[in-house]
Amino acid sequence: MFSSLSLLNEYESEEEFIENVHPENTSPRLPLPNSFKLVSQEEVKDDPKKHEGRIRSYPHQRGNWNSLIFVPYRKNGPFDLLRDQIIDLCQPKIEMKKIEEPHISLTRTFILLYHWIDDFVAAVKKSLGIMLRYDVQFDGLKIYCNEERNRTFLAMSVGFGKMEITKSVQLLDKCLSEYKLHPFYNEASFHMSFLWCLGDKKKELEELLPEMNKVFEANLNDSFDVTIPVTRYICKIGNKMYNINLK
């Protein structure tokens, strides 16, 4: 069974695009189409120093596109205040960092090959075309650790809205299965991570969880709104975003 925050998918190996070079041939080469240039030139070297110490769970491969489908969240002043208060509460024992784009995941992180992208996005939009807009409400804080045990997350757990999210996940699982990609977790705990730290700090954070929940509840009585309207999903493939609008 996969752990609840694993972002690693096994996937079938695919040959990378290789541009054959023959030095003995002096005739001019025809320029490659842009799509092939994109695939052949895409090469990323992992440098943890550029990612606050985070390490990739798997090496980047040319022609493979890191992808995720999620419910977006628009940050606001009260939300930022809540994060700052919890960061202060954890210091100096634990250095918590902000997640810049908090969201509710509807899939694991998965890999798409370049030539799959258009058909996959079309299939996802068609499948989710039956989904109506709805609201999600958070009901408390929870702590998660990734499978590699090298990062720990603080998240707001989803209370109201689970039924709609579950239905969406089921529809997306069918789309993923067509490409032999892993479905979402069997016993998914829907949540929105908003703070993280390096290492396995689950035990230390659980000791602080009662105090953090007091901060969370105090903000509920102020101006922090735990209800968010869900009008669209986002399919993120590489650095490109595709809007999936709900009815």
Q: Which residues are catalytic?
A: 103, 191
- The full 3-state SS of the chain, as one line of letters, equals CCCCCCCCCCCCCCCCCCCCCCCCCCCCCCCCCHHHHHHHHCCCCCCHHHHCCCCCCCCCCCCEEEEEEEEECCCCHHHHHHHHHHHHHHCCCCCCEECCCCEEECCCCEEEEHHHHHHHHHHHHHHHHHCCCEEEEEEEEEEEECCCCCEEEEEEEECCCHHHHHHHHHHHHHHHHCCCCCCCCCCCCCEEEEEEEECCCHHHHHHHHHHHHHHHHHHHCCCCCCEEEECEEEEEECCEEEEEECC
